[in-house]
Structure 1
Amino acid sequence: MDADNKVKDSTTVDISVASSPSNLDEVPKLLSEIGEYIQRFGIDTDEIRKDAIFKCRQLFLALSTPREIMADHCWGQIGAMMAVGFGLDSGLWDLMAQNGDKPQRAPDLASSLGIEPKLLSRLLRHLSAMGLLNEVGEDEYQPTNYTKALSLPQIGNGYLGLTACTSAGCLKYHEFSRKRGWINPTNPEDTSLMDAYGTDKDLFSRVNELGYGKHLNDYLGGYNLGRRWWIHPDIYPVKERLINGADPSPDASFLVDIGGNVGHDLERFRAAFPDAPGKLILQDLPMMIGQVKNLDSSIVRMEYDFRDEQPVKGSRAYYIHSTLHNWSDDVCESLLKRVKEAMKPGYSRLLINEFVVPEMGAHWEITGLDMMMLALFSSEQRTRVAWYDLIERRAGLRIVQIWSAGAGVESVIECEVTNYEGEA
């Protein structure tokens, strides 16, 4: 057996710990705290609901034994992802949503979809056991809000366009890391995703090659559902910071979305600020621009590789949403310097819409996405210190302010050119 893979014959932990509840002493306190949060629902902000979810997670872990937690991860959750993906690809969730909220029999559903009844019964039974579907009788199930939402492309298609296409990169990350000496990876051309699937394709190229490009775009379009967008006045004051003082000419560039996928963010901006002056410009690689459909004709489509010179000069704002976290500091530095060269001092703003990881108490959505970046891109979600190092020290821009809106919500990092010569 390989020395790196062999299991130790002895352990310093007694085997009994695996079958004992993890932290029963904390249960009364957690129950009390959860009760307090429930009483405050509808009074305070959404942060209360998020805090309650976190405490419920802690309660589950406190009551569970380590063996049960292992089984939940290795059997329960993996099996649920398997069943959800099957339901998406077979049309199950669409059919159940069309049937409404009434109880639905597995054999009837199987007959309509051309699925062997026994197979569907096994999958639905597990989803019910995991609490994702309501079992109301033998082989009879009632939809939940979750299963109904799976019929929405913005929710369901993420399981096919992201998880199903990439999960080996996460599950086999230990092998990738072991081969490279357990170092923090930064090379975008050498990722756990590539290693796991034996490919030199990055995530976007791989997903499109597999035929799931639309599914990934749908997921990205729903990426922030239920969270406040950067244009919400509680996050970034668009009117005061961008619209006021902008060039009123219809030919002037107002907002350039760099790496904007198929235009989700610009569509929302146009809907929220229909009277904003100037042009809205979508920039992305030809592969992405070619997938643009149903985008308002007023939004300019522009094929662009961010490694090249930025062709739009002196725009009021340049916007980058969830792109820099896909890349190492070296690549991001090059991108930011290209933007800096195009910015008009005293007028242009660069807006980076991404998570800023807190030094302590990070929300699980931030840390979870950081794990995805680690495995799929050899990149990271950045802390405040890391952002300042990248933007100010390396790229030579100045951070005017970091506009934040609470746990699990992306911040807006507002930047400006620091001098009139365009030098760092």
Structure 2
Amino acid sequence: MSPEAVADEVVDARASSAFLVNESLGYLFPAALRAAAVVGVADHLADGPRTAAELARATRTDARSLYRVLRLLATRGVFEEDAVGRFRLTAAGDALRTDAPCSARSAVLMNTDRSMWLPTADLSRCVTEGTSAFEHLFGLPFFEYFAQDEDTADVFHTGMAAMSDAENGPIADACDFPPTGTVVDVGGGHGGFLLTVLDRHPALRGILYDRPHVLAGHRLDTPGTAGRWSTESGDFFTAVPEGDVLVLKRILHDWEDDQCVALLDRCRAALAPGGRILVVEAVVPPGNAPHQAKALDLLLMAALVGRERTAPEFAGLFEAAGLKPARVTPTPTVLSVVEAVAV
């Protein structure tokens, strides 16, 4: 090898090493994003730019430390620092305000909560042992821990509702609902998606099905939906309310294949004649292109027992549950509508 080729190889190796070192520091951005969300910085920038010192007084934080957090977030377009050291909200950062339309603050707090964060630091355990890291760290499986920790459960369910708010409309528009009948939102949380569906389809009725402590925070009681909804509580692995359309939005990815098949079997038994099951999930695409499903898959691996799936993997679950795969409809969000009917 010529001296020039050796020199080029050394330069390439240094560049690759620098790239990987920089990638290994990537966790500091969500850490900074969480810090800004916790203290509510964005709420104090709604009326215009302010210095870190002014923001520190408003948020009762340390000015120098706050400045360093904001400076990093400015490199990613959440805030923008001007020539005199004042920070302003960008279009992206505006969604961090508590009262912003489709605020992401609760979702950020959920995704960076220690119940999500700590297991991901132990991914090597998942890789070597083929199991979730959550129970090792917290002493209980994910949902059992949430059932006995009210504060963490509230962070999770509020965060899921916030994460869903921006996607509910486009997903509801992509779904093929009948003109009349009953839609059952299985494991539907606070009911944001079902509310959107009922608002768009005035002749439909809806049932929100979840655990009692989750249903306590439902959002269905609006003038436009009066008399067209009800809530039912229970264990969806045991039984599911009957309906013409059963929706499973961000549910199957929480569970192992055999649990998904059991749940889908309960849904098949609850379908009215000619009914359909709509599984709303991120479908992992082939190839090397970035997709949020590939990142969320690791979060699921670390904290739960489920995973994100490809379209053929969903088809396999349907067939095992006595269902026929129908179609996969992409939406403008990261989620798709994967449809199944009874055989």
SS at match of 2:237: coil
Q: Mind listing any 5+ residue stretches in structure 2 that lack a counterpart?
A: 1-8
> What residue number does 1:160 align with?
109
Tell me if the contact between 1:203 and 1:376 (Cα under 8 Å) persists in the aligned partners: no
SS at match of 1:145: coil
Q: Per-residue deviation at 1:289?
A: 1.2
Over 3 Å counting, the alpha-carbon distance change for 1:204 and 1:89 in structure 2 is farther
Cα deviation code 1:138-196 (max 9, x no counterpart): 44222212222111474112222222221121121113322x1xx4x5xxxxx22222x
TM-score (norm 1): 0.70
Over 3 Å counting, the alpha-carbon distance change for 1:338 and 1:90 in structure 2 is same
SS at match of 1:211: helix
Tell me if the contact between 2:253 and 2:309 (Cα under 8 Å) persists in the aligned partners: yes
> Structure 1: how far apart are the matches of 2:77 and 2:275?
50
Q: Mind listing any 5+ residue stretches in structure 1 that lack a counterpart?
A: 1-13, 21-64, 186-190, 248-253, 419-424
> What residue number does 1:318 align with?
246
Q: Counterpart of 1:194 in structure 2: which amino acid?
A: E
Cα deviation code 1:311-337 (max 9, x no counterpart): x33x21111111011101111111111
Tell me if the contact between 2:323 and 2:340 (Cα under 8 Å) persists in the aligned partners: yes
* Segment of structure 1 superposing worse, 168-177 or 397-406: 397-406
SS at match of 2:236: coil
The equivalences for 1:113-192 within 5 A come to 113-152=59-98, 154-165=103-114, 166-178=116-128, 180=129, 183=130, 185=131, 191-192=132-133
Aligned residues: 326
Cα deviation code 1:120-152 (max 9, x no counterpart): 222222323444321113442222122221114
Over 3 Å counting, the alpha-carbon distance change for 1:316 and 1:137 in structure 2 is same
Tell me if the contact between 1:306 and 1:338 (Cα under 8 Å) persists in the aligned partners: yes
Kindly report the root-mean-square deviation, in angstroms, between the aligned alpha carbons of the 2 structures. Answer: 2.6
Over 3 Å counting, the alpha-carbon distance change for 1:370 and 1:286 in structure 2 is same
The equivalences for 1:247-258 within 5 A come to 254-258=182-186
> What residue number does 1:70 align with?
21
> Structure 1: how far apart are the matches of 2:342 and 2:84?
66
Rg larger in structure: 1
Cα deviation code 1:102-137 (max 9, x no counterpart): 331111111222222222222222323444321113
> What residue number does 1:60 align with?
none
Q: Counterpart of 1:264 in structure 2: which amino acid?
A: G
Cα deviation code 1:346-399 (max 9, x no counterpart): x2222211233233355511212222222222221111221121111x111112
Tell me if the contact between 1:107 and 1:139 (Cα under 8 Å) persists in the aligned partners: no
The equivalences for 1:324-335 within 5 A come to 324-335=252-263
> What residue number does 1:373 align with?
300
TM-score (norm 2): 0.85
% identity of equivalent residues: 20
Tell me if the contact between 1:228 and 1:409 (Cα under 8 Å) persists in the aligned partners: no
> Structure 2: how far apart are the matches of 1:207 and 1:157?
19
> What residue number does 2:5 align with?
none
> Structure 1: how far apart are the matches of 2:330 and 2:69?
41
Q: Per-residue deviation at 1:203?
A: 5.2
What stretches of structure 1 move > 4 A for 4+ residues in a row? Answer: none
Q: Per-residue deviation at 1:226?
A: 5.8
> What residue number does 1:266 align with?
194
SS at match of 1:316: strand
Tell me if the contact between 2:157 and 2:189 (Cα under 8 Å) persists in the aligned partners: yes
1:416 has 2:330 as partner: no
> What residue number does 1:44 align with?
none
> What residue number does 1:300 align with?
230
SS at match of 1:344: strand
User: Normalized per residue, which structure has more strand?
Assistant: 2
Which of 47, 58, 75 is equivalent to 1:112? 58
